[in-house]
Structures are given as structure tokens and as C-alpha cells.
């Protein structure tokens, strides 16, 4: 029994040494002054979203945690207020799997908040099945959504090039978050230890998100794709302007947007399950 405990202890020690040895130390980063700025962070109750919201609150921003679970959202907002001393952190309900909820959130925000300076579209899920509007949630669609993020930022930057609105597509790196709870059961015994050993912590994954959201001088790079190493060239499909425009127009049709009008369109059918 003693030898078994000793072996387990040695393995844990080796595991911890490997974990810290394979990962680089975080870069020092000056905190920008964000008092008077309002930020929305979707999926802000856990993972990268919570780490991003925490740092924005430390910088003095008013932070809206837009999440679907009220208990977790309120708890996260309370935790961030306590840790930072910033009382301008609040929860607002948003279920991104429901266009009805998205419209209700937008309507409530516009009534209650005079400004929006930062929108961090962080929330993601790969759980299988479909949303209430018929959009598919299997794993392949989650992967496809990463390309869609790059193309969406590219097209949005094109459409807003004569305004002060800027946007960036961000790859935070491989981060150990609660997203892995949706992994197949047979894969978890292998995936979870590897994630703990090799993947970034949420606070590390939030670095590039915060950099794009708050660093001065990035405006000429609006629409670009960023990693922790800075702006990168995505794969050729991620640079296809015609595909980006088609994605935008198809998305408008699927969600029922026509110009500045918000609301379901009678001619907009729900997307079929994949």
C-alpha cells in the first residue's frame, strides 16, 4: 500500500512538473483605463468569458454578463464584484440558442443602457441536437462556426469601414474550459488529462481577447484574424470575400434581419437540422 501511494505521488509530481514546464509564463500586460465604458461578454459566467469579464471589471468597465443560466450568471457577477471592488458588474439573461431570447436581450439592453463600447462574442457550445429555431448543434457545425467567425469579422469590417466600429476574429489558443463536458464519454479519460497538462488556463486564453478589445492602434487591422502571436493569415477560405458576403446575406435571411429591421421575417424559414 505504501509503495502504491509513493508511486501515485511521484506520478502526480511528474505530471505537475511537465504541465508547468511545457507552458510559457504569461506576458506582463498594462491594464487600460476603461471607466465609463460598457462591455457585454456572452458566456461570461465561466471559462474564457468569466476571465475576460473579470479583467474588464478590474480595468473599471461596466460589464454585462450575458448568459443563459441565471444562477451561474448572478453568482459570477457577485464574485467579480467582490474580487474587483467594481459594483458595475451585472447579469442579463441571454440564451444564444434562441433567437427569441436574443431579441429580448437586445431590446432590454437598449432600454436600460445608453451606450455599448465593447461586445465580446465569447459563448460557444457543441452539445448535439438543434436549437428551438432549428439550427444544428453537432460537433462538425461547431467546427464550421469557427470559419464563420473569421468570415463574419471580415465582412463586418468591410461594411463598417467608414465608421468607428472595429471588429476582430480571435483564436484564444487551446483552452481548458467547461466546453469539454460535451465530449463523448469514451474520449473524456484521454482528453481531460491532456487538457489539464497542455491546454491554457481560461485567464491565459483571455489575453488575446482582451488585447483585441482594448489595445490602441489596432483599428487599421479591423476584420483580421488574431492569435496570441498577433494578426495571422487564416486558411484561404477564411480570406474569401465572396464567401464572407454570402455568409452575411445567408445569415440575415436565416435570422430574419432585413436592413436595420429586427424581427422574424415571414419569408425566413427555420434552418433545417443537419
CA 220-24-50 angle, to 5 degrees, is 65
The SS3 assignment for 250 reads helix
Is 165 within 8 Å of 159 (Cβ atoms)? no
| DSSP H helices in 22-69 | 47-58
**Separation CA 34–CA 62 (nearest Å):** 8
Q: Which helix (H) or strand (E) holds 40?
A: strand 38-42
Q: Find cell 445567408 and name the residue.
A: 250
Q: Which residues contact 208 (CB under 8 A, 6 or more apart)?
A: 170, 171, 172, 173, 226, 227, 228
- Is 142 considered catalytic here? yes
Catalytic residue among 142, 168, 182, 225: 142
CA distances from 48 to 113, 204, 220 (A): 24, 8, 26
Pairwise CA distance, residues 123 & 145, whole Å:
12
In three-state secondary structure terms, 164 is: coil
* Cα distance between residue 60 and residue 36, in whole Å: 8
For 239-273, b/e burial (b = at least 16 CB within 10 A) is: ebeebbeebbeeeeebbbbeeeeeeeeeebeebee
What are the residue numbers of the active site? 142
Amino acid at each position: 500500500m505504501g509503495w502504491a501511494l509513493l508511486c501515485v505521488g511521484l506520478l502526480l509530481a511528474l505530471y505537475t512538473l511537465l504541465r508547468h514546464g511545457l507552458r510559457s509564463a504569461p506576458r506582463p500586460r498594462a491594464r487600460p483605463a476603461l471607466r465609463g465604458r460598457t462591455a457585454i461578454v456572452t458566456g461570461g459566467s465561466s471559462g474564457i468569458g468569466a476571465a475576460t469579464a473579470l479583467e474588464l471589471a478590474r480595468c473599471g468597465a461596466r460589464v454585462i454578463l450575458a448568459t443563459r443560466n441565471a444562477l451561474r450568471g448572478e453568482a459570477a457577477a457577485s464574485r467579480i464584484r467582490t474580487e474587483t471592488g467594481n459594483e458595475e458588474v451585472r447579469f442579463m439573461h441571454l440564451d444564444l440558442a434562441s433567437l427569441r431570447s436574443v431579441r429580448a436581450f437586445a431590446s432590454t439592453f437598449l432600454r436600460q443602457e445608453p451606450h455599448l463600447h465593447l461586445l465580446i462574442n465569447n459563448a460557444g457550445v457543441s452539445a448535439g441536437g438543434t436549437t428551438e429555431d432549428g439550427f444544428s448543434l453537432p460537433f462538425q457545425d461547431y467546427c464550421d462556426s469557427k470559419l464563420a467567425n473569421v468570415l463574419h469579422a471580415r465582412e463586418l469590417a468591410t461594411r463598417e469601414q467608414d465608421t468607428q466600429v472595429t471588429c476582430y476574429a480571435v483564436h484564444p489558443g487551446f483552452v481548458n474550459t467547461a466546453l469539454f463536458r460535451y465530449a463523448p464519454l469514451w474520449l473524456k479519460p484521454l482528453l481531460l488529462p491532456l487538457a489539464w497538462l497542455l491546454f491554457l488556463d481560461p485567464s491565459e486564453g483571455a489575453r488575446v481577447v482582451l488585447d483585441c478589445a482594448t489595445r490602441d492602434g489596432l483599428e487599421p487591422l479591423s476584420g483580421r484574424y488574431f492569435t496570441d502571436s498577433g494578426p495571422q493569415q487564416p486558411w484561404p477560405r477564411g480570406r474569401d470575400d465572396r464567401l464572407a458576403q454570402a455568409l452575411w446575406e445567408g445569415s440575415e435571411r436565416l435570422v430574419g434581419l432585413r436592413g436595420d429591421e429586427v424581427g422574424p421575417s415571414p419569408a425566413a424559414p427555420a434552418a433545417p437540422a443537419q
